[in-house]
């Protein structure tokens, strides 16, 4: 049996060799340092065997696959500790997640935050005992007997649903035994630093008709230093929470009268309008035509688009003249009707239509989260109708536009290509062509990407763009979806150079994703300290003395407002120091102080947000500097 490595090397091993032995054949040091491997695209632990010719890449904690192995094993370590402390506990599932792990448990004991420290101490004891994660393959009959004896209804249910011929694996960690496919660490001594973060409720298998379980979340690392850095980041994230800052800065409201339906306040509308104006300017430059499509459209349209069959549970409905209608969850079907409203020639293509469309999607109340997960939002949609020969260039154009927009806000980003899901429309051949086109476009731009198998939309594959904020946290925002299905379902055509009707290809894309989610991300990215072009109030004007300087400062306020600046004259009968301090607390970019000297010499004493030192400059110079800051979006 041959094993190939990323550097091109190839070695022969006996069939069924364990990955730990493959690693040792390279070096003992490698075997000690790696956490697992990716074998023919599948993540595996070092205690797992290889039975066929394989491509093998060993992974460490810095690799996403390494983190998954590390955090999955940490969930079992936590479960083992809970079992020792509360022996009657039943365990449901305990996966690795994007930031750490959790385990869903059924226990008579009602867990509270004070219990977490006790569980952590027991986890430390188990690590010191020096256990290996033992993997065993057992028969379906033996697996059922094992977990029926333990009265573990959750594992019995999972085993009962497995195919008759599936290999069932269990993992042993000391006296803790769990049904699990893996992958896991070989040696749990690698888990040196961990912290249990929170407790929540979760229904078994996500179904509200099932038992409510207790879910304990945790995080773990190889080193204490990494854990401390993570905990510090979490504390910083709490300070940046967009719900907290949104309230403090009077940007938006979330009310019980409309759960999931945010209210924009005047300050929030300034930012939202600035985002829309910026977006409109770029799209006009790039040759997009802006449209608006109706909020409510009839059932037949949603049947044609496929949403009635594939997305109905996320939609809101009404009746008009005894006919079924739906509030749009997406803008694309409206764009279809716009394209179809007149005949098109191949010479017109590509046709680029953009829309800041207001959509509604039903989200479960437990999933709602500030502006990040809402039921009503504005999507910065665009739909490009094109010839098959134009696909690559149009995707490249969209990627370049997205890069320009994200760069303006200081975001870096990661790219993934999501492939055909199980519940999809269309022929596999069309899907394969679409996926290949996305890959070629991204590779032409020299952008690294990963593949998300089966995570595409039901009508086509997509490019997903994850933004990385100032704290390095990932946020899913942009998406570019290539669609061969909608043009077919809506019978969209163009006339080619031979006078024959042909089917256009279609691109769906959003760059902000939704304005609500993007605003929430911006609030946390900037910690509420918006750049001047976005700040609701760009400068506070502060007279040293209300009695002697108010009139002069009032005239300067009017001058600045006439030039388009958003300024606020603080005319309260308070001390100057208090006014400066409160302006800083409100995260206003500039405090402008005017006394006798400033008004006589037409200068201003400037203090930037977050700085203690001040600078006196001609008022004209400040206006020039501020204008440049706004225009260049510094």
Q: For 101-147, what is each residue's pLDDT tens digit?
A: 999 999 999 999 999 999 999 999 999 999 999 999 998 888 999 99
Taking alpha carbons only, the member of 539, 510, 532, 484 closest to residue 634 is 532
Q: Distance between CA 292 and CA 277 in Å, rounded?
A: 16
**Which candidate in 63, 152, 380, 381 is catalytic?**
381
- At the second CATH level, the architecture of 248-525 is 2-Layer Sandwich (3.30)
**Which candidate in 184, 361, 509, 517 is catalytic?**
361
Sequence-ordered list of residues with C-beta below 8 angstroms from that of 565, at least 6 positions apart, any chain: 538, 539, 626
Query: Quick one: pLDDT at residue 207?
Result: 84
Residue 618 DSSP SS3: strand
Query: Quick one: pLDDT at residue 615?
Result: 94
Sign of CA dihedral 12, 16, 19, 23: negative
First CA to last CA distance, the chain: 58
Query: Quick one: pLDDT at residue 634?
Result: 87
Query: Quick one: pLDDT at residue 430?
Result: 82
Of 3.40.50.300, 1.10.274.50, 3.30.980.10, 3.40.309.10, the CATH number of 65-237 is 3.30.980.10
**Which candidate in 462, 517, 525, 579 is catalytic?**
462
- Respond yes or no: is residue 184 known to be catalytic: no
Sequence-ordered list of residues with C-beta below 8 angstroms from that of 319, at least 6 positions apart, any chain: 325
To the nearest whole percent, how much of the chain has pLDDT over 70?
Answer: 100
Other beta carbons within 10 Å of 197? 18
Q: Distance between CA 456 and CA 387 in Å, rounded?
A: 22
- Respond yes or no: is residue 277 known to be catalytic: no
DSSP string of 520-579?
Answer: HHHHHHHTT---TTT-SS-EEEEES-HHHHHHHHHHHHHHHHHTT--EEE--SSS-HHHH
Sequence-ordered list of residues with C-beta below 8 angstroms from that of 181, at least 6 positions apart, any chain: 169
**Residues forming beta bridges with residue 414, ordered by sequence position:** 466
**Which candidate in 195, 383, 587, 607 is catalytic?**
383
Query: Quick one: pLDDT at residue 310?
Result: 82
Indicate the pairing of strand 100-106 with strand 90-91.
antiparallel
Class of domain 539-631: alpha beta
Q: Give one word for 206, left, alpha or beta, with left for phi > 0 and alpha for psi -120 to 50.
A: left
What φ, ψ does residue 586 adopt, rounded to 5°? -85, 5
Which token pair is 557?
A: 């306020």
**Which candidate in 180, 332, 354, 477 is catalytic?**
332
Element (H, E) at 279: helix 266-285
- Respond yes or no: is residue 361 known to be catalytic: yes
Q: How does the average pLDDT of the chain come out, rounded?
A: 93
Residue with tokens 């039901």: 458
Other beta carbons within 10 Å of 73? 30
Element (H, E) at 66: helix 64-85
**Which candidate in 47, 214, 379, 420 is catalytic?**
379
**Which candidate in 131, 328, 352, 508 is catalytic?**
508
Cα–Cα separations (whole angstroms), residue 268 to 534, 570, 620: 10, 21, 29
pLDDT per position as a tens digit, 221-269: 999 999 999 999 999 989 999 999 999 999 999 999 999 999 999 999 9
Q: Distance between CA 550 and CA 537 in Å, rounded?
A: 19
Query: Quick one: pLDDT at residue 14?
Result: 92
Residue 465 DSSP SS3: strand
Assigned CATH topology for domain 2-57: Ubiquitin-like (UB roll) (3.10.20)
Which residue numbers in the chain have pLDDT < 70? none
Query: Quick one: pLDDT at residue 257?
Result: 94
Query: Quick one: pLDDT at residue 422?
Result: 82
- Respond yes or no: is residue 548 known to be catalytic: no
Residue 385 DSSP SS3: strand
Cα 462 to the center of its chain, rounded Å = 15
Q: Distance between CA 47 and CA 183 in Å, rounded?
A: 9
Residue with tokens 């809970």: 82
8 Å CB contact between 509 and 266: no
Q: Distance between CA 554 and CA 550 in Å, rounded?
A: 6
8 Å CB contact between 450 and 463: no
Which token pair is 314?
A: 């996320």
pLDDT per position as a tens digit, 49-87: 999 999 999 999 999 999 999 999 999 999 999 999 999
Residue 288 DSSP SS3: coil
8 Å CB contact between 462 and 435: no
Sequence-ordered list of residues with C-beta below 8 angstroms from that of 533, at least 6 positions apart, any chain: 274, 629, 630, 631, 633, 634
Taking alpha carbons only, the member of 567, 575, 566 closest to residue 543 is 575
8 Å CB contact between 237 and 154: no
**Residues forming beta bridges with residue 316, ordered by sequence position:** 327
Q: Where are the domains of the chain?
A: 2-57, 65-237, 248-525, 539-631
8 Å CB contact between 213 and 90: no
What is the arrangement of strands in the sheet containing 449-452, beginning at the earlier edge strand? Answer: 289-290, 351-360, 376-386, 505-510, 474-483, 462-468, 412-418, 449-452
Residue 342 DSSP SS3: coil
Query: Quick one: pLDDT at residue 484?
Result: 81
Taking alpha carbons only, the member of 610, 591, 601 closest to residue 544 is 591
- Respond yes or no: is residue 332 known to be catalytic: yes
Q: Distance between CA 380 and CA 357 in Å, rounded?
A: 7
């Amino acid at each position: 049996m041959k094993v190939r490595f990323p550097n091109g090397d190839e070695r022969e091993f006996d069939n069924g060799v364990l990955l730990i032995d493959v690693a040792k054949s390279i070096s003992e040091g490698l075997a000690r340092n790696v956490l697992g491997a990716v074998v023919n695209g599948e993540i595996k632990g070092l205690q797992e065997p290889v039975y066929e010719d394989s491509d093998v890449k060993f992974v460490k904690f810095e690799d996403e696959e390494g983190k998954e192995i590390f955090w999955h094993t940490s969930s079992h370590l936590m479960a083992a500790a809970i079992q020792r402390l509360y022996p009657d506990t039943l365990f449901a599932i305990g996966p690795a997640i994007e930031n750490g792990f959790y385990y869903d448990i059924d226990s008579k004991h009602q867990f509270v935050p004070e219990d977490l420290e006790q569980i952590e101490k027991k986890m430390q004891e188990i690590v010191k005992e020096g256990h290996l994660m033992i993997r065993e393959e057992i028969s379906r009959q033996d697996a059922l007997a094992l977990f029926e004896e333990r009265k573990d209804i959750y594992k019995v249910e999972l085993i009962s649903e497995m195919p008759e011929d599936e290999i069932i694996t269990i993992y042993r960690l000391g006296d803790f035994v769990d049904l699990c496919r893996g992958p896991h660490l070989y040696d749990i001594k690698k888990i040196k630093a961990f912290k249990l973060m929170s407790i929540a409720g979760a229904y078994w298998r996500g179904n509200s008709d099932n038992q409510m379980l207790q879910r304990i979340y945790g995080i773990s690392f190889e080193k204490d230093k990494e854990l401390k850095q993570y905990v510090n980041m979490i504390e910083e994230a709490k300070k940046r929470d967009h719900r907290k800052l949104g309230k403090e800065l009077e940007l938006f409201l979330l009310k019980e009268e409309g759960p999931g339906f945010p209210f924009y306040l005047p300050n929030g509308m300034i930012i939202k309008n600035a985002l829309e104006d910026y977006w409109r300017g770029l799209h006009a430059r790039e040759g997009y035509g802006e449209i608006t499509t109706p909020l409510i459209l009839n059932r037949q349209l949603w049947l044609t688009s496929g949403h009635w069959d594939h997305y109905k549970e996320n939609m809101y409905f009404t009746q008009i003249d005894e006919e079924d209608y739906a509030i749009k969850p997406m803008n694309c079907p409206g764009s279809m009707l716009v394209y179809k409203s007149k005949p098109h020639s191949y010479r017109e293509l590509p046709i680029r239509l953009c829309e800041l469309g207001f959509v509604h999607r039903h989200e479960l109340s437990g999933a709602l989260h500030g502006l990040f997960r809402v039921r009503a939002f504005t999507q910065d949609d665009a739909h490009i109708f094109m010839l098959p020969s134009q696909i690559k260039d149009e995707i490249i154009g969209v990627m370049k536009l997205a890069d320009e927009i994200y760069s303006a806000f200081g975001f870096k980003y990661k790219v993934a290509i999501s492939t055909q899901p199980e519940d999809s429309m269309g022929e596999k051949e069309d899907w394969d062509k679409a996926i290949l086109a996305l890959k070629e476009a991204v590779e032409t731009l020299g952008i690294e990407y990963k593949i998300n198998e089966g995570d595409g939309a039901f009508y086509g594959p997509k490019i997903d763009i994850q933004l990385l904020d100032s704290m390095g946290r990932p946020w899913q925002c942009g998406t570019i979806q290539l669609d061969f299905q909608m043009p077919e379902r809506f019978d969209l055509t163009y006339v080619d150079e031979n006078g024959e009707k042909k089917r256009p290809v279609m691109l769906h894309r959003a760059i902000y994703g939704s304005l609500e989610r993007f605003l929430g991300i911006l609030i946390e990215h900037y910690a509420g300290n918006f750049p001047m072009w976005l700040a609701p109030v760009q400068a506070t004007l502060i007279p040293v003395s209300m009695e002697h300087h108010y009139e002069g400062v009032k005239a300067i306020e009017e001058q600045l407002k006439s030039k388009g600046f958003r300024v606020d004259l603080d005319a309260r009968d308070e001390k100057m120091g208090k006014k400066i301090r409160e302006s800083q607390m409100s995260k206003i970019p500039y405090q402008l102080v005017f006394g006798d000297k400033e008004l006589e010499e037409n200068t201003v004493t400037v203090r930037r947000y977050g700085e203690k030192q001040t600078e006196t400059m001609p008022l004209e110079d400040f206006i020039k500097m501020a204008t440049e800051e706004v225009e260049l979006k510094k």
